[in-house]
Amino acid sequence: MKYAVLRNSQTVTFVPEVYPNRRLQVVLKLCPNPMAVLLNFDLDQVGVAYDGTEVWMLPRTARAIVTSYTVFTMDLIHGSFLSSRKATQDQRVFKYAKRGYGLRFLPSYIESLPHATVSIPMTDDTNAPEISLTQDELRVTLIEERKRIDWWLAQQDRDRWHWGPDSGSIPMKALDARSATSPELAERSSLSGWQQFARHVALWEYSQMGYFSLELKSEEFCSAGYEDDPLSYQDGPEFSWDDDFTLEQLRKTVDESSQRETDRFHASLAFSITPRRLWDMSDGAFESLKADHEARHMRPRRTLRRTIMATTLDEAFSQPLVAFVHLPRNFRAHAEPKLSNTPSRFEDVTLPGAPEHKPVPPYAWVTVEHEAWIRTDADFVLSYWIQDGTRDGRLTPHWQLVDRQADEIHEIVHAFRRGHRDLNKHTGWYGVQEDWAMLNVSRSVVFGRFKITKEKAEEMDWIGYEDKEDDGSFDSVPRTAEEWIARTERFNRLEDAFWVFWYKCRLPPADLLGQIRALKG
């Protein structure tokens, strides 16, 4: 059978030509024994292996198979690649949730958390006294995010989400980066904080209740907001692994990832490497200036590739992995001698003595020479990070757990690369538009939105609603499928600028979805 070989900085993966034949991934870690290999797995239910003769299993795996739960520990979030148990990724949590495995938070963990302070009712059910509701932060946040997602779904498309899974699908990734502006991937993952994770859990729960379908066929699942740089062993582009898979599609995905890396590199050059465009420069003059600067001050360009696809193992290691990274010059000077016996090395993007270009105010009357200065040892320097595949005719992957010092330097370089990988990325607009603002409003607004008055809405006015009085006709909750359809049709006739339209739209209860679909025909 034909296989492709995918190589990145942490794994070598053999991908078969035809789905669903099994993929084989070699994680570049040298563990001392089978137990250490199993302990490295993130979720309890996956810590099992077969060596051709015997089955090896962790005690926590046996428990998980019986109970269908992984016990939550902080290692699942903060586990390092170098620790005995690596962190999980959100796509893996939801992948196994689909297969029936959940997360269990032990009572001892819950008891250690502070109680949430909530000054308004968390439920619209007047028969449920507030004192009966658990007040720990996990529980309150989960209630909050269920209400927030209810609000978000009702606002996104009032005529579609009401009618069930056949009406459309939502990718889990839709919530990943809408309100997260951090460049660090660990902070953009849904596992970066309980609120973000609870938000994804709520979205998953609504899909299970039949409001819509989640896009689950793709391997990228909810990580595609940063699809070519997940915080995982799969340090490269993720791809759809289903009946439509082809090796040609995989080749295209790898090439597109390399092109995105090149585009980001060009954007990074604009941050102090190449001269800035002055206010009176024409397009031709600016392009000529950049070309002249590159010829005089930059080394020949390296081909960027963080993933290599090949037909054989030798071919995969015949070329180096190349990424760009901004590193403090003094850190790089510290790291280079410690990596001298590893496949890793650094190379300047610029020639010695190349100037760095200061930011200048718009329309400032300065020349290119006035904005330039020479870097100090503490300044960041744009470097190529090169990981060779061979030395003296031998394959030379970077095996982790052999040299702790080299491993730690690699992790630091990866952190700098992730943090600075897209300096030109725009992070505005999301969360301030009408359809997304509810993902950023406070807890009190989420719990109290049906009690919002016109005066309070004006006080919190992000969007500019028209000054209309609330006649109270949207305060009651419809009880039948016919009433829900009438309510929805009325909302669709309202002007979007009417503040009640935004605050008081609702989703119908799940048990009415079948009747609503039947009536809608």
Integer-rounded Cα radius of gyration of the chain = 27
SS3 294: helix
Looking at the structure, do residues 196 and 269 belong to the same domain, yes or no? Answer: no
Q: Which CA distances in Å does 306 have to 26, 265, 386? A: 17, 13, 10
Split at pLDDT 50, 70, 90, the class of 133 is: low
The model's pLDDT over 329-345, given as tens digits with 9 standing for 90+, comes to: 899 999 999 999 999 99
Q: What is the mean pLDDT of the chain?
A: 78
Is 48 part of a structural domain of the chain?
no
Q: What is the pTM of this model?
A: 0.75
The model's pLDDT over 361-416, given as tens digits with 9 standing for 90+, comes to: 444 444 555 555 545 555 788 899 999 999 888 999 999 989 999 999 998 998 88
Contacts of 232-236 with C-beta under 8 Å, sequence gap 24+, read: 232/89, 233/10, 233/11, 233/25, 233/27, 233/81, 233/86, 234/8, 234/11, 234/13, 235/8, 235/9, 235/10, 235/11, 235/306, 235/307, 236/6, 236/8, 236/306, 236/307
Looking at the structure, do residues 302 and 330 belong to the same domain, yes or no? Answer: yes
- The residue type of 73 is T
Q: CA triplet 1, 395, 332: central angle to 5 degrees?
A: 130
Q: What total of structural domains would you count in the chain?
A: 3
Distance, CA of 201 to CA of 319 (rounded, Å) = 42
- The residue type of 118 is V
List the structure tokens of 177: 């980066």
Is 379 part of a structural domain of the chain?
yes
In sequence order, which residues have a C-beta less than 8 Å from that of residue 415 and are 6 or more positions away? Answer: 184
Residue 279's domain comprises 260-419
User: What was the pLDDT predicted at 385?
Assistant: 97
Q: Is the dihedral of CA 302, 305, 306, 310 positive or negative?
A: negative
The model's pLDDT over 258-285, given as tens digits with 9 standing for 90+, comes to: 998 998 898 888 766 777 676 677 888 8
The model's pLDDT over 418-476, given as tens digits with 9 standing for 90+, comes to: 877 766 554 444 444 556 678 777 888 888 888 877 777 766 654 455 555 666 666 77
Looking at the structure, do residues 410 and 441 belong to the same domain, yes or no? Answer: no
Cis peptide before 20 (omega within 30 of 0): yes
Is 424 part of a structural domain of the chain?
no
DSSP 327-381: EEHHHHHHHHHHTTTSSEEEEESB-TT--EE----TT----TTTTEE---TTSEE
Looking at the structure, do residues 206 and 74 belong to the same domain, yes or no? Answer: yes
Looking at the structure, do residues 79 and 228 belong to the same domain, yes or no? Answer: yes
**Residue 115 DSSP code:** B
- Asked if 478 and 489 touch (Cβ cutoff 8 Å), the reply is no
Is 499 part of a structural domain of the chain?
yes
Distance, CA of 224 to CA of 172 (rounded, Å) = 9
Looking at the structure, do residues 407 and 446 belong to the same domain, yes or no? Answer: no
Percentages helix, strand, coil for the chain, rounded to the nearest 5?
A: 40, 15, 45
Looking at the structure, do residues 274 and 152 belong to the same domain, yes or no? Answer: no
Looking at the structure, do residues 79 and 197 belong to the same domain, yes or no? Answer: yes
- Asked if 12 and 22 touch (Cβ cutoff 8 Å), the reply is no
User: What was the pLDDT predicted at 433?
Assistant: 55
Looking at the structure, do residues 184 and 95 belong to the same domain, yes or no? Answer: yes
Distance, CA of 491 to CA of 140 (rounded, Å) = 30
